Structure 1
Amino acid sequence: MALKATTMIKGIGVSSGIAIGKAHVIYKQKAALTGLLLDNEEAVAIEMSKFDKAVVKSIEEVETLISEADDTWTEESIAILETQVEFLGDPQIRENVHTKISSEKKNVNDALIEVIAALVVMFQAMTDEYMRSRAADMEDIGERILRNLGQVSQAAPHEIEPGSILISQDISPSDTISMDIRHVAGFATIVGGPTSHAAIVAKARGIPAAVGLGHNLSHINQGDLLILDGLSGEMIINPDEETLGIYQQRREQYSGQLGLMKALKDVSAKTTDGQKITLVANISEAADMDLVFENGGEGVGLLRSELLFMGRESMPTEDEQFEFYKKVALKSQNKPVTIRTIDIGGDKHLPYFNLPKEQNPFLGYRAIRISLDRKELFLTQLKAILRASVFGDLRIMFPMISHVQEVRDAKKVLEMAKVELAEANIDFKPDIEVGIMIEVPSAAVMADMLAKEVDFFSIGTNDLVQYTLAVDRLNDKVSNLYDPFNPAVLRLISYVIEQGHEHHLHVSMCGELAADPLATLLLIGMDLREFSMSAISIPMIKNAIIKCSFLDAKVVFERVKRMSDSEEIKAYLRTMIP
């Protein structure tokens, strides 16, 4: 079914800019379950051998891609492939596939499809955006192994014409790295989120992109004329002349603004009346630091330590963790780096943790609850961070705090770590700052009490919104109710900031709201002084900051406080964007 002229569909804008060009549709063959079972042990052995050989071949392919990388490849692109090598060689995946073949008599095609599907579901259920995006890696390695099993064929590459907009179900990590995208004007996918690989690569290369546009996107034909707005997530198919003219003008305006924002790299993030705002980044490893400084970031507001624990068959040792944190510290140029202690749980399964299956993992055994229950693991991580603290300005942050005693218990383990290091004559920073994530409503309500226990707060709006409104943002039936501009959420945020400052704490925000220019003026009016976001978002938020005054921001906040409806709030804030 072809879409009619000038149809508009909407998704999630993940990389700003206006793209105008013809559709380049990428089709992929998907392997299907056969349902065929094996009838003897010889067949079982053959299928296992097929799988092992296909994995070896897949690893060789990816390693060849890495070895042939040229100067145009980013460190991030290589890191994506290195992560895939780790996943391909994961003994747990091999064991799961072999078990299905030997115990359930599945053929290798069906066994692999089922194992990969289960892993995809597991990653997609995770609350952390970055970890959820690992589902794409799982699908990608599954496709690669199936291709080397001869179960799916490699899609014939189409030559990409200059100015094309890529349309696909999703764009895999391998696609985004290996395809020649010099002629690509934009990306658009049926599925995906803000941290999908298509989004990451589009941001890194300054290409407008939208994801999650839904199945209407599948009706676009090869060569259809498209307009893609990477900020709003809107796509217009076969626009009329008037619409085309409007967006061509907007594209020119945006190009001018982009040059201006790049010029802001070394400009201080101050309001017009001199209020300094600190802009820091959310990262996952040392390699991300380059992008932070390229975009004018002043440090790291959130280092997700989970990456170090993923794709392994055992807990990383203290020395391995130390080296990981030390690398970040050495690349930080002595700027502050806040390390969030491990944030895993029932929805983030690690094979060697043997976590119980839970009916509601978001409210279950996770984050600080696991750390305090398995103190030997927590102690190891804290000792590694302390050891690395002598190489930079590292800070420690505990996630998912819900009451005061959790903070006190966590600090006791930190003191144990200090004592053990001191007894071993190992250097560390004794006065390292300690903070907590405010992402549970009970923590927000008790901010006045919690402030007496720590050095800083970091407001995690993604979970705070979800828990405050009782909305699972991954559930399509209710995700429309997920709204960070809900007055109840804004009241909690304001109270946390107020109590933090009253107790002389610095307060940061590391959720998605910090990277939303619609919220910038309002948050400054609440007296938020530190914003943490993806590095690529920093210039856009800095641009919003330097155009506004602190006094105007206070007026905006006072007016919003009297509003009871989020749509009214958002409509008002749109009128206040400079």
Structure 2
Amino acid sequence: MLLKGIAAASGYAIGPAFIMEEHHTEIERRELPAGEVEAEAARLQAAVQQAMAELEQIKEKTAAKLGEHEAEIFATHILVLQDEEFIGQAVQKVRDESVNAEFAMSEVTQMLVDIFSSMDSEYMRERAADFRDVSKRVLTALSGQSGTSLNDFEEAVVLFAHDLTPSDTAQLDRSKVAGFATNIGGRTSHSAIMARSMEIPAVVGTQNGSEAVKTGDIVILDGSSGIILVNPDEDTIKTYQEKQAKYMKRQEAMKLYKDKPSITADGHEVELVSNIGNPQDALGARNNGAEGVGLYRTEFLYMGRDNFPSEEEQFNSYVAVCETLGAEKPVVIRTLDIGGDKELPYLELPKEMNPFLGYRAIRLCLDRKDLFKTQLRAILRASAHGNVKLMYPMISSIVELRAANELLAETKAELDAEGIAYNKEMEVGMMIEVPAAAIIADQLAKEVDFFSIGTNDLVQYTMAADRMNENVSHLTQPFNPAVIRLIKMVIDAAHKEGKWAGMCGEMAGNLKAVPLLLGLGLDEFSMSASSVLSVRVLLSRLNREEMKQLAEEALNLETAEEIQYLIVDRVPAIQELTI
């Protein structure tokens, strides 16, 4: 039997399956007499304190076992439990409705889970798991129970579960759990992130893996391709044992590249940086050898709350990233990319027929100048503490770019009048996500310091195909000749004006795309932290002049499949790095 899911953490696990049983307890609403309400509120607050103490212990153990970066996940969970918008609402629900603590906690958690789960960003959708995790811990404390161990196995097993919380994952013993699979989840879930840090092979989103497999079945879990083989024959097991040995050898070799420059075999250097969503992610970028941040998504500061973040709050977040990476490392901060399908309930945006083409990103910010200038002030102030660069999203015309720069100039003048320091030479760039921007890149390049190509949106807008719609997923192909030609136009336009061009879409970390992008002249590749080392190793084996020739040939091909075949055929190192 073959199961398919999402490749969450590379590597191979071979061994007996163990099914983690799900225990669903129906939480009933109990009405409380008036005289018991305050005692119930106190019981909930005591359970929260117990949960925080447990998380503090897990945080310390995780820091000792895996490092400070991985432990930050639990620091975040502790902050969640200190958030008045979360726990405060649950306590208030006990008081206002005279209900039991379990019910109040469950209801408030579900409300927040629903909000985050409905967001377009996969990263933000996965944050719903954080609320489930901390809520589960509080509910366990309310019941007077303690957590169960997932390491009581006589031999290393492949663990199957509906889901694993970050707490569950952090406490896995690599010698007892060879790998794990979950029915739900994505690559950006904290459990997946931790699996990669712990080097535990993982496949998520199998839908029914924990039901299709029985405890004791022999399984092969391929975390590199997202497949699981159940009760394979001896020849298949032997084949995967050989793959496993090769993979382990390659991983050890890759670690040697962590502090090396990102340089090709013929001496051409590019910049490998990371995409992040919060200050904690900067640790992962640094630990994986990234040379900075190519995309800091600032939306997380605005989400999961009922008011706008203050200038000071934003400033502190941006500075925290600079301090983590070091003052000389570039940190490209994208201004607020919200609106349309990324909803902020407190912003009260109108419902739209076509949110991807609607009132979002720079369009919203140019309309809400008060909101925009608060963020610009925070970014400018942070530029005095590191190598900060500012980037506008969703620019589609030179009129928008000039309007944004006018507001930036106004903000600088205000800071000058107040005697507040900032880097007066801070680079200002823009994302290329809209075909219109790519087509007039020669004009835009005269008025920015850099471009960063957001291929996720550029592909869907170019192909008129929603990247979230499975029915048209075959069209959302970054190797499509139309997309490749637009990318070339953007890079050439930047270079003609002496500017640099980067890419922060998923394509930048795709090993098949790297040779082509190098040949097209891309200067900066921004990707998930876990992709940095493999891309650096691949670059070290490429000759830039040869890749220029490859790119010229690719530009004359007619289909995405032909382009991919050309790349794989011409660059055998790709296959070696993806075994």
TM-score in terms of structure 2 length: 0.88
8 Å Cα contact 1:401-1:437 kept in structure 2: yes
Q: Report whether the alignment pairs 1:164 with 2:196.
A: no
Of residues 141, 156, 174, the one that matches 2:134 is 141
Q: Work out whether 1:268 is the aligned partner of 2:266.
A: no
Residue 406 of structure 1 and its aligned partner are, at CA, apart by 1.9
Secondary structure at 1:192's aligned position in 2?
A: coil
- Is 1:200 aligned to 2:193, yes or no? yes
Partner residue, 1:517:
511
Per-residue displacement from partner, 1:399-418 (whole Å, max 9, x unpaired)? 22222222111111111121
How far the C-alpha of 1:345 sits from its partner, in A, is 2.6
Match of 1:81 among 70, 74, 92: 74
Q: Could you tell me how far 1:236 is from its partner in structure 2? A: 1.4
Q: Tell me how far apart the structure 2 counterparts of residues 113 and 469 of structure 1 sit (CA, whole Å).
A: 42
The answer as to whether partners of 1:459 and 1:509 remain within 8 angstroms in 2 is yes
Counting only pairs closer than 5 Å after superposition, residues 238-249 of structure 1 correspond to structure 2 as: 238-249=231-242
Alignment of 1:176-325 (within 5 A): 176-325=169-318
1:545 paired to 2:532: no
CA positional deviation for 1:26: 2.0
TM-superposition CA deviations, 1:361-389 (whole Å, max 9, x none): 44433322332222222222222222221
DSSP-derived class of the 2:257 partner: coil
Structure 1 unaligned spans of 5+: 1-6
Determine if contact 1:487/1:565 at 8 Å carries over to the other structure: yes
Moved more, 364-373 or 287-296: 287-296
Structure 1 residues 475-514: Cα deviation after superposition (integer angstroms, max 9, x where no partner): 4454455332333333322322222222322111111111
SS of the residue corresponding to residue 512 of structure 2 reads: helix
Q: Is the 8 A contact 1:26 1:167 kept in 2?
A: yes
> Against the structure 1 CA distance between its residues 64 and 246, is the aligned structure 2 distance closer, same or farther, given a 3 Å change threshold?
closer
CA contact (8 A) 1:281 1:301 kept: yes
- Classify the secondary structure of the residue corresponding to 1:71: helix
Equivalent position of 1:339 in the other structure: 333
1:457 aligns with 2:458: no
Letter in 1 for 2:335: T
1:15 counterpart = 2:13: no
Could you say which residue in structure 1 is the equivalent of 2:575?
none
Q: Is residue 329 of structure 1 aligned with residue 322 of structure 2? A: yes
Report what 1:4 is aligned to: none
Q: How many residues in Structure 1 have an aligned counterpart in Structure 2?
A: 571
1:499 paired with 2:493, answer yes
For residue 70 of structure 1, report the CA deviation from its aligned partner: 5.2
**CA positional deviation for 1:243:** 1.0
> For each residue in 1:281-338, what CA deviation from the matched residue of structure 2 results, as whole angstroms up to 9, or x when unmatched?
1223444444434433222111222344445554333333323222322333312111
Q: Secondary structure at the match of 2:178?
A: strand
Unaligned runs of 5+ in 2: 573-579
1:357 Cα deviation after fit: 4.8
CA 1:408 to 1:23, structure 2 compared with 1: closer, same or farther past 3 Å? same
Contact 1:31–1:151 (8 Å) recurs in 2: no
Partner of 2:416: 422
Compared CA separation, residues 50 and 443, structure 1 to 2 (3 A): farther
Q: Deviations over 1:6-35 (max 9, x none)?
A: x2222222322222222232222234476x
Shifted more, 415-424 versus 357-366: the winner is 357-366
Q: Which deviations, in whole Å up to 9, do the C-alpha atoms of 1:220-263 show, x marking residues without a partner?
A: 12232222222211221222111111111111222222122111
- Check conservation: 1:471, 1:478, Cα contact below 8 A: yes
CA distance in 1, matches of 2:91, 2:476: 41
How far the C-alpha of 1:64 sits from its partner, in A, is: 4.8
The letter of the residue matching 1:546 is S
Report the counterpart of residue 3 of structure 1 in structure 2: none
Q: Verify the 8 A CA contact 1:24 1:160 in the aligned structure 2.
A: no
Note if contact 2:460-2:476 (Cα within 8 Å) is conserved in structure 1. yes
Q: Which of 480, 484, 494 is the matching residue for 2:478? A: 484
Task: Note closer, same or farther for the CA distance 1:286–1:53 as it changes in structure 2 (3 Å cut).
Answer: closer
Cα pair 2:218 2:230 within 8 Å, conserved:
yes
Using structure 1 for the length normalisation, give the TM-score: 0.88
Residues 380 and 422 of structure 2 are in contact (CA less than 8 Å); yes or no, is this contact kept in structure 1? Answer: yes
Deviation track 1:158-205 (CA, whole Å, cap 9, x = no partner) reads 514553222222221221223434433223222222211122112212
The match for 1:371 among 340, 365, 371 is 365
Give the letter for the 1:244 counterpart: I
Among 527, 531, 540, the residue aligned to 1:533? 527
Deviation by residue 1:108-131 (Cα, 9 ceiling, x = unmatched) = 656654543443343233333332
Residues 442, 125 of structure 1: alpha-carbon distance in 2 compared, 3 angstrom cutoff: farther
Whole-angstrom CA distance in 2 between matches of 1:202 and 1:223:
23
CA contact (8 A) 2:273 2:525 kept: yes
- Give secondary structure in 1 for the equivalent of 2:333: strand
Any idea what SS the aligned residue of 2:516 has? Answer: helix
Structure 1 vs Structure 2: percent identity of aligned residues?
44
1:62 is matched with 55
Choose the corresponding residue for 2:552, options 558, 566, 578.
Answer: 558
**CA 1:545–1:70 in structure 2 vs 1: closer, same or farther (change >3 Å)?**
closer
Contact 2:339/2:361 (CA < 8 Å) preserved in 1? yes
